[in-house]
Structure 1
């Protein structure tokens, strides 16, 4: 075994040696043939190793990285084809290019060599120019394979970094979901002469729907349903801000109350509240988002209701005798145009009646055929579920929506509020 060295590197386009060493192993039981090939290879700038047998060559290939093997086909002991099979079975980094030297020309024999893993063949007697061309082709393949491996390594590293970022973002969104759920901490409120049941289901980690209720004074309560445009974190942040403006625990921040010069507070009528929200969105917050809303002020003694609607689905009154009534006068979404005008709608709840506020995730839920549920589909669901109490009705409504959509992964946030009047 002998070696010579010269710093070389293969350019994968030209096949020329340009910088770092490329190792070539010559395997032949003819010493004269090995020396002749080695002389050519050193002249061309390769680092050359020689082996007199396939067994000796396998030991060398196991101990060090060899880029190219040039092996005679017919040798004493292990043949070149058998050696090629054993060479391919060795654990190694990078590709090893294998050239067989042969006087065989039968197609079946050539096929055996290819099946064993040979990359190329050079006929004997060896032409130096042909061998050099074959080596250049082999080095181009090795260079491209090394380049591909490096690109795959970079891609894998990038994917790993993206996965870490995704996992971190996913953990943050899970925590954000928990925080958003606290905005509707109580899913059932008892105000004595009325109860309020609430339901909210986000289509993603976080959503843009909000439902709630709070006490206005000794005889009046407010109930609302909000749907912020868009989905995801931005919408969730807006719902959190709106929840602060409709907080029963912080009346000094609640826009439903207007501060008076004498230090007292006056309750804003629903339509005036919508106008105040619209002014605040356009003049103070100045965000790209808008929201729809239904807001009801309910007198617990008389059952009188004053309701304003801003681009939100029409609320439904479920009468105690089984009738369903759509209420509300429409209106523009909040935050779209300056000086939008909203109207109050008046109606009365009687003992046993229920007021249902909902987001458009219910009425616009697409079915398997692509058709939306719509108000008529919602009414059919409510008639079928009317015998259930309100918390159970809201839960069953979500299940019916999943059956309608053909999946429990609904495309939009879904929320609803039912006020049971029992005075």
Structure 2
């Protein structure tokens, strides 16, 4: 015992790695054989525990697990293989390297020992050099096993910590999703002479799309569809900021509105709105994000629509007869360059016509072969859903889009669906939305 302590201290002082095998159990019903092995092991600086039977050895192991066991195969009562199996069953802490001591040399017997859980064999009579070689081999195996166990323990601890962080982040993102959805407080509104329905479906917890509408004085309404570059939290924060600049509940903060001399509000020219937003993003927001925009200023009495397209997919008009037209010339996204120029354009809606502003998550949806839906495909979907109205139309578009894509959408899907009935119904003033 004293020699063992001295060797361990010497290794620690020299900076060498600690031994993987410190304690060896010798199990043999022959007292002489035990003493021979014990003396050889002790000279190598190992602590030795002796047992005269497998049953006695199991009792000892319940209090202290050795690093390595050298056990006779054939013993009265429990055999060496049975002892090995019993030890493996109740010891689930550190791996014990097990060497069977035997006079057997047949391949079938050796295979049976290995099947029983033994790691190695020593043939009687034991040669000192062979014993040291077997101990060294066991030490290498145990060192690797313990290093692997330590790494697995560290990995398990790290994974547990990461799971905790993920769960916390997931809860936060679920709350963020609720907050982002609350930006679109009214999904459908009936103005009498027209109706507007909104679709906002992020591909993840939160997304970079934003849709909405707001009143412009008496008899006019503003519609907008926005798609911020990228996905996730940064894009969602950008949409929250933009929602404030196109708010229906705070007209004094809405960049699309101008205060008139009479104290009311009038709509800004669509191209001027895009220009104002471009300046704001580049000079004040100081962000690398940019966004695309489709904005429409709709006169509910005449059906005249003034629009701007800033890098957004082309707005679609479905006429009362079923034909679909795509509007606009494209334009530059907002927040990319100072010198961007935007142009307004107009379209005339007649009773029964419908206007659809959509994000590129619709037109750029891909089928299993990688082909995009495109404008022709969207026109086909709108034709299939032409009998639907309001939110039912948008739900049908999403359904057919899912059939086309054949999987979960990889991009946010959003849209503004405006149906014009004509000025012969109740006025916009009577049905003006509280906010959007």
TM range (shorter): over 0.9
What is the TM-score of this pair, normalised by structure 2? 0.90
State the partner residue of 2:193.
Answer: 193
In 1, Cα distance between equivalents of 2:17 and 2:360: 69
Correspondence 1:6-405 to 2 at 5 A: 6-7=4-5, 18=18, 22-259=22-259, 265-405=265-405
CA contact under 8 A between 1:9 and 1:21: conserved in structure 2? no
Determine which structure has greater relative contact order: mean sequence separation of CA pairs < 8 Å that are 6+ residues apart, divided by chain length. 2
What is the TM-score of this pair, normalised by structure 1? 0.93
In 2, Cα distance between equivalents of 1:175 and 1:17: 51
In 2, Cα distance between equivalents of 1:158 and 1:182: 36
CA contact under 8 A between 1:199 and 1:415: conserved in structure 2? yes
Shift of 1:329: 2.6
Query: What secondary structure does 1:6 align onto?
Result: helix
CA contact under 8 A between 2:257 and 2:268: conserved in structure 1? yes
- Out of 16-25 and 189-198, give the one that drifted further: 16-25
State the partner residue of 1:418.
Answer: 417
In 2, Cα distance between equivalents of 1:395 and 1:183: 20
In 2, Cα distance between equivalents of 1:381 and 1:212: 22
Gaps of 5+ in 2: 424-436
CA contact under 8 A between 2:20 and 2:143: conserved in structure 1? no
The CA deviation string for residues 104-161 of structure 1, in whole angstroms up to 9 with x for no partner, is 2222222222222221112222111211121121122112211111110100000000
Shift of 1:259: 4.9
CA contact under 8 A between 1:4 and 1:42: conserved in structure 2? no
Shift of 1:88: 2.7
Query: What secondary structure does 2:231 align onto?
Result: coil
In 1, Cα distance between equivalents of 2:108 and 2:20: 38
In 2, Cα distance between equivalents of 1:248 and 1:97: 75
In 2, Cα distance between equivalents of 1:198 and 1:308: 19
Query: What secondary structure does 2:411 align onto?
Result: coil
Cα distance change of structure 1 residues 232 and 275 upon mapping to structure 2, 3 Å threshold = same
- Out of 18-27 and 165-174, give the one that drifted further: 18-27
CA contact under 8 A between 2:209 and 2:413: conserved in structure 1? yes
Query: What secondary structure does 1:370 align onto?
Result: coil
Shift of 1:263: 6.8
CA contact under 8 A between 2:20 and 2:142: conserved in structure 1? no
In 1, Cα distance between equivalents of 2:296 and 2:92: 74
In 1, Cα distance between equivalents of 2:88 and 2:274: 76
CA contact under 8 A between 1:309 and 1:330: conserved in structure 2? yes
Query: What secondary structure does 1:336 align onto?
Result: coil
In 1, Cα distance between equivalents of 2:122 and 2:3: 24
Aligned positions, number: 416
The CA deviation string for residues 230-261 of structure 1, in whole angstroms up to 9 with x for no partner, is 11111111111111000011111110123578
Query: What secondary structure does 1:26 align onto?
Result: strand
Query: What secondary structure does 1:347 align onto?
Result: strand
In 1, Cα distance between equivalents of 2:203 and 2:223: 23
Query: What secondary structure does 2:198 align onto?
Result: strand
What is the root-mean-square deviation of aligned Cα atoms in Å? 2.1
In 1, Cα distance between equivalents of 2:359 and 2:251: 25
Cα distance change of structure 1 residues 59 and 233 upon mapping to structure 2, 3 Å threshold = same
Shift of 1:17: 8.6
The CA deviation string for residues 7-50 of structure 1, in whole angstroms up to 9 with x for no partner, is 36699xxxx99469821111112212211211122221111111
CA contact under 8 A between 1:100 and 1:118: conserved in structure 2? yes
Shift of 1:73: 2.5
The CA deviation string for residues 330-358 of structure 1, in whole angstroms up to 9 with x for no partner, is 21111111121111111211112111111
In 2, Cα distance between equivalents of 1:67 and 1:301: 90
